[in-house]
């Protein structure tokens, strides 16, 4: 039986303190796996059984000792080696032959970062040095795909290097106290997420143009088509008032005419949106995570410009006009 997962709380500093260890936070699905007398359970953080969607992980469990359980992250890589959360997301609905084909085309890996049980011995009460037992499982069993061991370090310089890995799909760093046990459902870990600033074009809003609640953002692709890239969190009142004064109603042949937008990943609920003329460019700060592509995770924003179509297609890099960041 698998315990509830131990959780983390966000922190604003990426500094690794004495008495703590750091581990990369990958752009994937949190998952736990257990093996008991040939029965394999692959469970999501919220308790959903995922074994049918990831048959290669279930099959790979023959490599593990019996009566053993691990906590980790399910990930999928693209051809360039970057983590591809969209591919991972698409695999969730696959079953049977479809799941098998997806496993061959986009195989998943289980990146293990904690040991919950080893050959029948519950290890959650051990301090973080249970990590040594996890490493011994990988070494003694010579584990290979789909299993991977998450790196761990007590070196601050290594953590700083990891924070430059966002191009391959690392979200940030998780910090764990060396003396702490694994406590189910408790937010005893700390999580620092890398934040990125970029420009995007407002193509629609929720609420109204005179009282926008969130902004639906887009960027032009190489063919000049405005592609949806995400949605901000709820606008603060001052930011909403400023944005409303700059919005114009969407005109005939708006690039998103007839489009629908979901509330978030995996949701069938559709947003009620009002199209805006795509002329307002904003600079947004977001958390690095493709899980939030349907809700961009923008935490602060400023008006960049009202641009001509030619200017809107240029590469980001021009300096925004003065507008102080406002919480969204």
Q: Which residues are catalytic?
A: 25
- Inter-residue contact 111 to 75 (CB < 8 Å): yes
List the one residue out of 216, 189, 211 whose CA is nearest residue 293. Answer: 216
Classify burial at 115, counting beta carbons within 10 Å of its beta carbon; exposed 0-12, middle 13-18, buried 19 or more. Answer: buried
Contacts with 39 (C-beta within 8 Å, 6 or more apart), sequence order: none
CA distance 162 to 168: 10
Give SS3 for 154.
coil
For 19-42, letters b (16+ CB in 10 Å) and e give ebbbbbbbbbbbbbbbbeeeebbb
CA distance 73 to 29: 5
Tokens 């998780």 — which residue?
A: 174
Give SS3 for 295.
coil
Contacts with 292 (C-beta within 8 Å, 6 or more apart), sequence order: 230, 265, 286
Taking residue 43's Cβ as centre, other Cβ atoms within 10 Å add up to 18
CA distance 119 to 192: 33
How many helices and strands (H and E) does the chain possess? 7, 17
Contacts with 251 (C-beta within 8 Å, 6 or more apart), sequence order: 277
């Amino acid at each position: 039986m698998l315990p509830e997962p131990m959780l983390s709380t966000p922190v604003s500093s990426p500094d690794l303190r004495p008495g703590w260890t750091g581990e990369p936070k990958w752009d994937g699905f949190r998952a736990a796996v257990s093996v008991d007398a040939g029965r394999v359970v692959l469970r999501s953080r919220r308790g959903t059984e995922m074994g049918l969607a990831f048959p290669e992980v279930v099959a790979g469990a023959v490599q593990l000792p019996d009566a053993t359980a691990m906590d980790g992250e399910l990930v999928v890589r693209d051809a360039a080696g970057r983590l591809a959360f969209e591919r991972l997301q698409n695999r969730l609905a696959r079953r049977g032959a479809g799941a098998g084909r997806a496993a061959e085309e986009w195989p998943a890996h289980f990146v293990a970062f904690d040991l919950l049980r080893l050959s029948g011995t519950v290890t959650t009460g051990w301090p973080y040095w249970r990590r040594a037992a996890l490493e011994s499982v990988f070494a003694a069993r010579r584990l290979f795909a789909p299993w991977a061991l998450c790196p761990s370090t007590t070196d601050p310089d290594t953590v700083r290097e990891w924070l430059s890995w966002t191009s391959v799909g690392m979200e940030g760093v998780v910090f764990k106290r060396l003396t702490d046990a694994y406590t189910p459902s408790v937010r005893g870990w700390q999580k620092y997420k890398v934040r990125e600033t970029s420009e995007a074009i407002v193509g629609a809003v929720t609420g109204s143009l005179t009282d926008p609640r969130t902004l639906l953002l887009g960027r032009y692709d190489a063919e000049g088509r405005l592609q949806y890239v995400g949605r901000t969190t709820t606008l603060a009142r001052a930011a909403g008032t400023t944005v409303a004064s700059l919005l114009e109603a969407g005109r005939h042949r708006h690039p998103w005419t007839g489009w629908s937008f979901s509330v978030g990943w995996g949701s069938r609920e559709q947003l009620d949106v009002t199209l805006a003329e795509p002329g307002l460019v904003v600079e947004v700060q977001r958390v690095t995570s493709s899980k939030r592509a349907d809700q961009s995770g923008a935490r602060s924003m400023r008006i960049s410009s009202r641009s001509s179509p030619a200017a809107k297609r240029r590469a980001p890099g021009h300096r925004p006009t003065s507008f102080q960041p406002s919480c969204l």
